[in-house]
């Protein structure tokens, strides 16, 4: 037996109490993860659409808040391509289609543009304009295969699925991609696009280069608004950020409640163990080792509870997405995000361990030993 084994054995001597504490911490962490995780996942999904596909600039209708309502001339992409510093530009028409109970994004992509390069075809081929063909993301394909569907009907028109693609963006993994002109025809919006995605030449990706291109686009087409992709994402996810601030506040309160609950358990545990720990002092244990008993107990319980909470939180976020019709968003737990939660939890646990350690070490061991 060594110290670690002693600590573990000691912690689980009161199994029910420890398990209830662990479960309580798990629920608290789960709530934090779900609250922060939903916003985080949506934000990441949006970001990935742009960041991972090397889209540097997004051009949309001026003063239009909703990307779905934004309309620009699809031919604008041609004009933009002519501007110095631009490698490619592609018009995109976006429509949200109700497929059974889910909301599925449908993209109309301008053929022969870089838009198609960022997705990897895993089956079949790209859709050809005018042939009523579509390609779908891998996640959506799995759902279609379950129902043995090979066609997608949009506004009464059937599109044959001719290709399946994998995308770095979770948003696109559940999307349908048509040729731009086909979606324009279905929506009866010939010549229109929701926005234009722009890819810059490598030499223009620095801030100064991008700014000069933005100015040039707005000079050539004064009726449209051109934004850096990251600014565009930030604007479109502004509502998430506001919600996230609220979530952070609630999460901090939850973690404080969790820490207080844990501190309560630790104080109860310290009352039970005070005599024994005083005996350990008499047997020559260093004070730091006594403090370590409390701190390790608190940290171990918090870590087990935290791991349970992270697992439940991840499943909970996935469940929430599955309950809503937003198939495009997938729960994502970045390392930084997990570390943030774990950091908050461990700080709380440290506090919860230090309080009884301090109380015990500052009490008179002889009084404790001789007390009934």
Partner 1 sequence: MNKVEAEKNLFRLVSVRKYYPIVKSHALRDISLTIERGQIVGITGPSGSGKSTLLYLLSGLITPTAGTIFFQEKHLARIRNRGRYRRENIGFVFQDFYLYPGFTVLQNVLFPCLYRVIVPAATRQKAEGLLDELNMHHKRDAPVEVLSAGERQRVCIARALLNDPQCILADEPTGNLDSHNGQVILELLKKINTQRQTTVILVTHEERVSRYAHRIIRLNDGKVDPG
Which residues would be at the binding site for partner 1 (CB under 8 A)? 1-4, 6, 9-10, 13, 275-276, 279-287, 289, 292, 364-366, 369-370
User: 17 or 340, CB closer to partner 1?
Assistant: 17
Closest CA to 118 of 102, 107, 130: 107
Distance of closest approach, residue 362 Cβ to partner 1, in angstroms: 13
For Cα atoms 211, 217, 220, give the angle at the middle one, nearest 5 degrees. 140
Closest CA to 177 of 93, 296, 299, 248: 93
User: 280 or 307, CB closer to partner 1?
Assistant: 280
- How far from 212 is each of 89, 217, 242, CA to CA, in Å? 16, 9, 31
| CB contact at 8 A, 110 and 77 | yes
Distance of closest approach, residue 17 Cβ to partner 1, in angstroms: 14
User: 121 or 289, CB closer to partner 1?
Assistant: 289
190 token code pair:
């010939």
Distance of closest approach, residue 6 Cβ to partner 1, in angstroms: 5
Closest CA to 215 of 77, 224, 91, 70: 224
Helical H runs in 134-228? 138-146, 170-173, 180-187, 207-220
User: 240 or 281, CB closer to partner 1?
Assistant: 281
Distance of closest approach, residue 293 Cβ to partner 1, in angstroms: 9
User: 252 or 282, CB closer to partner 1?
Assistant: 282
Distance of closest approach, residue 266 Cβ to partner 1, in angstroms: 19
User: 253 or 282, CB closer to partner 1?
Assistant: 282
The Cβ of residue 157 has, within 10 Å, a number of other Cβ atoms equal to 12
User: 6 or 246, CB closer to partner 1?
Assistant: 6
The Cβ of residue 296 has, within 10 Å, a number of other Cβ atoms equal to 20
User: 58 or 295, CB closer to partner 1?
Assistant: 295
Give DSSP secondary structure letters for 74-130: TTHHHHHHTSTTEEEEEEEEEEEEEETTEEEEEEEE-TTSGGGTTEEEEEE-PPPTT
Distance of closest approach, residue 298 Cβ to partner 1, in angstroms: 18
Residue 365's contacts (CB-CB under 8 Å, 6 or more residues apart) are: 278, 281, 282
Burial class for 38, CB neighbours closer than 10 Å (0-12, 13-18, 19+): buried
| CB contact at 8 A, 29 and 345 | yes
Distance of closest approach, residue 281 Cβ to partner 1, in angstroms: 7
Distance of closest approach, residue 10 Cβ to partner 1, in angstroms: 8
């Amino acid at each position: 037996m060594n110290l670690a084994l002693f600590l573990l054995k000691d912690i689980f001597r009161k199994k029910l109490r420890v398990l209830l504490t662990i479960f309580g911490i798990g629920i608290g962490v789960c709530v934090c993860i779900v609250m922060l995780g939903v916003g985080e996942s949506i934000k990441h999904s949006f970001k990935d659409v742009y960041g991972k596909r090397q889209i540097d600039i997004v051009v949309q209708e001026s003063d239009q808040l909703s990307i779905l309502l934004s309309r620009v001339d699809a031919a604008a992409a041609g004009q933009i391509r002519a501007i110095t510093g631009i490698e490619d530009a592609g018009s995109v028409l976006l429509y949200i289609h109700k497929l059974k109970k889910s909301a599925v994004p449908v993209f109309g992509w301008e053929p022969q543009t870089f838009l198609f390069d960022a997705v990897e075809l895993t089956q079949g081929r790209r859709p050809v304009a005018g042939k009523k063909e579509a390609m779908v993301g891998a996640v959506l394909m799995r759902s279609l295969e379950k129902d043995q569907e090979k066609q997608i009907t949009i506004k009464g028109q059937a599109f044959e699925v001719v290709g399946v693609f994998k995308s770095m963006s979770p948003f696109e993994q559940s999307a349908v991609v048509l040729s731009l002109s086909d979606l324009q025809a279905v929506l009866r919006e010939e010549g229109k696009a929701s926005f234009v995605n722009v890819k810059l030449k490598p030499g223009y990706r620095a801030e100064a280069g991008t700014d000069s291109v933005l100015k040039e686009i707005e000079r050539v087409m004064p009726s449209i608004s051109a934004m850096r992709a990251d600014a565009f994402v930030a604007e479109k996810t502004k509502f998430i950020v506001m919600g996230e601030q609220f979530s952070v506040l609630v999460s901090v309160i939850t973690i404080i409640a969790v820490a207080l609950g844990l501190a309560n358990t630790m104080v109860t545990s310290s009352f039970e163990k005070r005599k024994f720990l005083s005996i350990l002092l008499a047997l020559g244990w260093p004070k730091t080792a006594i403090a370590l008993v409390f701190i390790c107990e608190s940290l171990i319980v918090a870590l087990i509870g935290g791991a349970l909470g992270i697992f439940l939180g991840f499943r909970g976020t996935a469940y929430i997405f599955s309950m809503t019709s937003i198939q495009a968003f997938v729960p994502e737990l970045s390392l930084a995000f997990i570390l943030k939660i774990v950091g908050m939890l461990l700080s709380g646990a440290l506090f919860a361990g230090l309080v009884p350690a301090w109380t015990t070490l500052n009490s008179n061991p002889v009084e404790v030993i001789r007390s009934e």
